[in-house]
Amino acid sequence: MNTLGSGLKIIGSGTAIADQSLTNQDLSNIVETSDEWIQSRTGMRQRYICSAHENLASLGVKAGQKALAMARLQPEDLDLIILATSTPDDLFGSAAQIQGGLGASRAFAFDITAACSGFVVGLNVAAQFLRTGVYQRVLLVGGDVLSRWVDWSDRTTCVLFGDGAGAVVLQRQAQDNLLAFEMYTDGSSNGCLNLAYQAVSQRLTAGKTVAQGTYQPITMNGREVYRFAVAKVPEIIEKVLFKAQLTTPDLDWVILHQANQRIMDAVGDRLGIPSEKIISNVGQYGNTSAASIPLALDQAVREGKIKEGDLIALAGFGAGLTWAASIVRW
Ligand code: UT7
């Protein structure tokens, strides 16, 4: 039995953003929209998207290298790599590409798909391996390249999303700095937000067909997802605080999935949490799906906002529909 104890801590973070900035002005040249509409409805000013020179794995490797550097670890120190993504470079999974790119030769690597909740789900999954002592060090990467799957003629969705990847290194230790977590799925509302495979039946031979289609661009019922987020995110944060025997004033920071500034403001209002405690970079990066929480986390850490010992509530929400929250001590 390992003597390190049955807790865990985040010991490093890093991010990688895509190579091309796309401003609201750029978008107004693509679809009928305006900087005024996008900023007032979402708080977004720009986002970054991948050119053909970059992909999910290259972003994941860069974010992972930065997180490892902060943690003062080598790639060979990792036991496990979890990639939370809905836009792998390869449908067989992209975690292995990140493992190869980093040279993390000892690490097992696998993908999980939970859309914009993916990073928080990944954190809670990683914790299970660390708490049981199966693994000592895990790299969790949250990344998405939704620019590949957006319908660039649909102004209701194409203005929202950006590409990026964020990573954290988690290490087993005696004290448990993941104080509580909660996760939910409501599959009855699955049709609100999809990047769905559309099968086309093709005859193979007499009496046999195959369904070879392709994924269709993102579709979203924005108003429904907005209502869902504003109702469920405060609720899950209250539940996770209750589990950790804490109350909202105990929190130093709240990091929500960066989908919309109005959602973050509404969640803060409902919980009575002052806006200064709610970390936001949606104006700069847009909605980067599984990358949005680690992007905001890493930025706040590097700016010196988040300090050792701070209590942070993390909450992701999105397609599934899924929503997940964790309370972490930095
Ligand atoms: O990461 C996954 C989770 N996703 C989310 O959390 C997204 C949640 N939803 C939202 O953030 C918001 O619903 C949106 C930002 C997507 C939309 O904001 P909204 O205030 O709910 O706008 P709306 O959909 O009610 O549309 C209002 C109007 C419509 O015109 P009419 O029907 O009132 O004439 C839209 O056609 O705004 C129009 N519109 C636009 N106008 C200019 C929609 N998109 C645009 C646009 N530019 N890009």
Cβ(295) – ligand 1 distance below 6 Å: no
pLDDT at 3: 54
Pocket of ligand 1 contains residue 258 by CB under 6 Å: no
pLDDT at 160: 98
d(CA 7, CA 131): 5
Q: Which residue has the tokens 């930065």?
A: 66
Please pick, among 24, 260, 281, 287, the residue that the annotation labels catalytic. 287
- Strand spans (E) along 66-192: 80-84, 108-112, 137-144, 164-173, 178-185
Of 29, 163, 189, 226, the one to substitute when testing ligand 1's pocket (max ligand atoms within 8 A of C-beta) is: 226
Ligand 1 atom nearest residue 229's Cα = 6
Around 205, how many Cα atoms within 13 Å sit in the side-chain half-sphere? 0
Please provide residue 165's backbone torsions phi and psi, each rounded to the nearest 5 degrees.
Answer: -150, 145
Strand order in the sheet with 7-17: 7-17, 164-173, 137-144, 80-84, 108-112
CB of 114 sitting under 6 A from ligand 1: no
> What per-residue confidence (pLDDT) applies to 219?
97
Which value, in Å, is the radius of gyration of the alpha carbons in the chain? 19
pLDDT value for 5: 72
Closest C-alpha residue for ligand 1 atom 29: 156
Tell me how far apart the terminal alpha carbons of the chain are, to the nearest angstrom. Answer: 26
Atom of ligand 1 nearest to the CA of 33: 47
CA 193 to ligand 1: nearest atom: 2
Euclidean distance between CA atoms 255 and 229, whole angstroms: 14
Task: Name the residue type at position 233.
Answer: V
> Mutual orientation of helices 35-42 and 261-271 as an angle, nearest 10°?
20
Taking alpha carbons only, the member of 212, 211, 170 closest to residue 78 is: 170
Per-residue pLDDT of the chain (330 residues; tens, 9 = 90+): 455 679 999 999 999 999 999 999 999 999 999 999 999 999 999 999 999 999 999 999 999 999 999 999 999 999 999 999 999 999 999 999 999 999 999 999 999 999 999 999 999 999 999 999 999 999 999 999 999 999 999 999 999 999 999 999 999 999 999 999 999 999 999 999 999 999 999 999 999 999 999 999 999 999 999 999 999 999 999 999 999 999 999 999 999 999 999 999 999 999 999 999 999 999 999 999 999 999 999 999 999 999 999 999 999 999 999 999 999 999
CA-nearest of 279, 265, 196, 197 to 226 is 265
Cα–Cα distance, 20 to 35 (Å, whole number): 18
Which residue has the least CA distance to atom 18 on ligand 1? 41
Q: Is 116 a catalytic residue?
A: yes
Provide the token pair at 141: 């990467």
**Active-site residue among 24, 124, 177, 257?**
257
| 287 included as an active-site residue | yes
Q: Which two tokens stand for residue 21?
A: 């900035």
Q: Is 260 in the pocket of ligand 1 (CB under 6 A)?
A: yes
Q: Is 217 in the pocket of ligand 1 (CB under 6 A)?
A: no
Q: Is 2 a catalytic residue?
A: no
Does the CA dihedral 8-145-57-93 come out positive or negative? positive
